């Protein structure tokens, strides 16, 4: 087979027997197509005992090595697995394709039932590619950067542990927007607009828009509504009234950091975009209809 991709990396959700079956099937398929396969070390135990057709062992590497050496990364699992891989591979410019093993996903959209057909199309260059941006969220305390992280979906400043609201000040491009008392604030990419931000009452943004949405979580003032701003905006959230025991910043719901009063979270678009691969017949609105049970 003449293929656009010569070296493919496989990344999957840990400790999942369904992932093991699909990863093993992908290894055999890619190997038979003459493609070099690199297996992420996080899922290497799932393919224990598997070999390439010539009897050689499978190459098990770090996710960073996949970014450095592969032409394509295939993520097996759900949207959460792809979120994690996206943050790790964000700076490598490697395209990602997702095989969905859970509930219908917005990001992982290749069904295992059609794996060979869809992969045939993708490997021959028949696919849709989208450019999606990530957010960088940095925490500053007394002028010093003390934490930071990447988010493909959202950066969330939120309360935890106690029922009391927190007080936050929001600035956009150094201009004061408001002070709000709420359970938190979601700062979301268009990709993340269909996740936590949607549950908080935010709008759906088409995934390739250059925009950021700010969604308050259970605001005390009911007139405090979501706002959409230009994707190149610089957003700053100041913790005005809190303590270390009940306020956090979270990146994609996977990494978190405890905040204090006076901490500043600076959020802006990451310069390098992520390349996301879909099958050629991918339809975002079809996914919305299925996921959100639209008529």
Q: How confident is the model over 9-62, as pLDDT tens digits?
A: 999 987 777 788 899 899 999 999 999 999 999 887 766 656 676 778 889 999
Closest-CA residue to 179 (of 204, 152, 216): 216
Give the full edge-to-edge strand order of the sheet including 227-230. 227-230, 211-217, 184-188, 154-159, 247-251, 255-258
pLDDT in tens, 58-71: 899 999 999 999 99
Q: What is the pTM for the complete model shown?
A: 0.93
The answer on pLDDT for 153 being more than 80 is yes
Residue in the block written with tokens 């369904």: 18
With pLDDT > 70 as the criterion, what percentage of the chain qualifies? Answer: 94
Whether residue 145 contacts residue 276, with contact meaning beta carbons closer than 8 Å, is answered with no
- Looking at domain 7-133+273-292, its CATH architecture is 3-Layer(aba) Sandwich (3.40)
**H or E stretch including 46?**
none
3-state secondary structure of 45: helix
As a CATH number, domain 135-269 is 2.60.200.30
Who contacts 280 (Cβ-Cβ below 8 Å, separation ≥6)?
121, 126, 127, 128
Residue 99: band (very low, low, confident or very high) from pLDDT cuts 50, 70, 90? very high
Q: What are phi and psi of 165, to 5 degrees?
A: -70, 165
Average pLDDT over residues 228-253: 90
Query: What pLDDT was estimated at residue 2?
Result: 54
Average pLDDT over residues 279-285: 93
Query: What pLDDT was estimated at residue 126?
Result: 94
3-state helix, strand, coil in the chain (%, to 5): 25, 40, 40
Residue 289: band (very low, low, confident or very high) from pLDDT cuts 50, 70, 90? very high
Supply 36's token pair.
């070099």
Separation CA 186–CA 155 (nearest Å): 6
Q: What are phi and psi of 293, to 5 degrees?
A: 60, 40
Residue 244: band (very low, low, confident or very high) from pLDDT cuts 50, 70, 90? low
Query: What pLDDT was estimated at residue 164?
Result: 84
The rounded mean pLDDT for the chain is 91
Whether residue 206 contacts residue 226, with contact meaning beta carbons closer than 8 Å, is answered with no
Average pLDDT over residues 166-183: 96
Query: What pLDDT was estimated at residue 113?
Result: 86
Query: What pLDDT was estimated at residue 48?
Result: 62
Query: What pLDDT was estimated at residue 66?
Result: 97
In Å, the largest CA–CA distance within the chain is 66
Query: Residue-wise over 190-199: b if at least 16 C-beta within 10 A, else e?
Result: bbbbbbbbbe
Query: What pLDDT was estimated at residue 187?
Result: 98
58, 63, 69, 74 alpha-carbon torsion, rounded to 10° = 70
Residue 222: band (very low, low, confident or very high) from pLDDT cuts 50, 70, 90? confident
Sequence spans of domains, the chain: 7-133+273-292, 135-269
Supply 100's token pair.
């969905």
Average pLDDT over residues 89-107: 88
Average pLDDT over residues 243-268: 91
Closest-CA residue to 89 (of 103, 75, 102, 100): 75
The answer on pLDDT for 243 being more than 60 is no
Rg (CA), the chain: 21
The answer on pLDDT for 253 being more than 90 is yes
- Which residues belong to the active site? 79
């Amino acid at each position: 087979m003449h293929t656009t991709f010569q070296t493919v990396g496989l990344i999957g959700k840990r400790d999942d027997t369904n992932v093991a079956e699909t990863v093993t099937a992908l290894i055999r398929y890619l190997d038979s197509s003459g493609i070099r396969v690199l297996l992420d070390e996080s899922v290497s135990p799932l393919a224990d005992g598997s070999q390439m057709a010539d009897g050689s062992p499978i190459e098990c590497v770090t996710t960073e090595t996949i970014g450095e050496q592969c032409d394509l990364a295939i993520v097996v699992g759900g949207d959460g697995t792809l979120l994690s891989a996206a943050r790790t591979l964000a700076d490598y410019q490697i395209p990602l394709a997702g095989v969905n093993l859970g509930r219908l996903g917005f990001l992982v959209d290749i069904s295992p039932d059609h794996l060979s057909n869809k992969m045939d199309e993708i490997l021959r260059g028949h696919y849709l590619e989208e450019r999606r941006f990530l957010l960088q969220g940095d925490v500053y305390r007394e002028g010093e950067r003390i934490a930071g992280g990447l988010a493909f979906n959202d950066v969330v400043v939120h309360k935890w542990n106690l029922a009391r609201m927190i007080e936050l000040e929001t600035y956009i491009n150094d201009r004061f927007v408001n002070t709000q008392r709420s359970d938190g604030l979601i700062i979301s990419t268009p990709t993340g607009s269909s996740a936590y931000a949607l549950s908080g009452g935010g709008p759906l943004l088409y995934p390739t828009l250059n925009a950021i949405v700010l969604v308050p979580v259970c605001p005390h003032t009911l007139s405090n509504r979501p706002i959409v701003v230009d994707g190149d905006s610089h957003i700053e959230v100041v913790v005005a009234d809190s303590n270390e025991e009940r306020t956090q910043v979270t990146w994609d719901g996977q990494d978190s950091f405890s905040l204090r009063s006076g901490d500043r979270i600076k959020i802006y678009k990451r310069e390098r975009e992520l390349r996301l691969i879909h099958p050629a017949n991918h339809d975002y609105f079809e996914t919305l209809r299925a996921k959100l049970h639209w008529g």
